[in-house]
Amino acid sequence: MKVLANDGIATTGVAALQDAGFEVILTKVAQEQLIDYINENEVAVLLVRSATKVRKDIIDGCPTLKIIGRGGVGMDNIDVAYAKDKGIHVINTPAASSHSVAELVFAHLFGMVRFLHDSNRNMPLEGDSKFKDLKKAYAKGIELRGKTLGVFGFGRIGQATAKIALGVGMKVVAYDPFIDAANVELEFFDGQTIDFHITTISKEEVLRQCDFLTLHVPAQEDYVISKTEFDLMKDGAGIINAARGGVIDEVALVDALKSGKISKAALDVFENEPTPEIQLLMNPDISLTPHIGAATGEAQDRIGSELADQIIEILK
């Protein structure tokens, strides 16, 4: 049987699938050519990340498909319910990238509070001529220790982010409409562990308490954060979105940054990918990455292995 990894798959996954007798195709097929390619090659498994969309046209037009797999968490680029109704298995890897995303959140956080994102733009241009001016401009950093991190969405990634926050010495407050409480276990290099029991609170209370807010929610029809939510936050708070583009009202975010209501922001995802708005890209108060939350070697190895294990279990 053939597996088309249209958005790529780690070598760990390729090796496991090949050892199980599958033919793995790593060709990148354009979206508009996908149906013809799948049918011509009798592809049984289609693996995607966020780039390839698997909508009703592909599901209806490709009778050989038995499995659609998403390397990652979010399934908003797949018509999941429709595929399942048609008898197609839909799989993903919800736990594989949690720690990688959480570390990216804190890469942004540490950079934001010490102005690294802006300093790394300006030091190469003016570091030799305006060193003292830049030193003064970036002299008002703050520590994360002792600050409060608000977490919207307290599933696997939200809890992984909370672990790092607790390790740094931050207080964690969380909101999740589907989770009342969670035990968060911090594991250390020598085998010691510490358990924290975190009870979720209301959305409004998280907004009021947090010094920084990180989002770990799925894509949805309405904004999760817009002007109403910004107005509830502390003056000068910060926000990080490494979840999905479209959960923050980007116009409201820019306005909040201009007014000083929000002092710092970090975006790994955008409403208009792959062409984010220029007012975001050029804003010195926003730390930016191009949707790389799960883009670590370790996460990709785990994703590849987990996808392979699920495919083999279903089809073998």
- Secondary structure letter of residue 180 according to DSSP: S
Mapped onto helix, strand or coil, the DSSP state of residue 69 is strand
**Residues recognised as catalytic:** 244, 273, 291
Pairwise CA distance, residues 18 & 56, whole Å:
29
Mapped onto helix, strand or coil, the DSSP state of residue 197 is strand
For residue 181, give the H/E element and its range.
strand 181-187
**Cα within 13 Å of Cα(35), Cβ side:** 11
The identity of residue 2, as a single letter, is: K
Torsion over CA of 20, 26, 29 and 31, rounded to 10 degrees? 70
Question: CB under 8 Å to 258, separation ≥6 — which residues?
Answer: none
Q: 157 with 98: CB under 8 angstroms?
A: yes
Pairwise CA distance, residues 287 & 267, whole Å:
6
**b/e per residue 9-30 (b: at least 16 CB within 10 A):** bbebbbebbeeeebebbeeebe
Pairwise CA distance, residues 103 & 157, whole Å:
10
Pairwise CA distance, residues 42 & 240, whole Å:
42
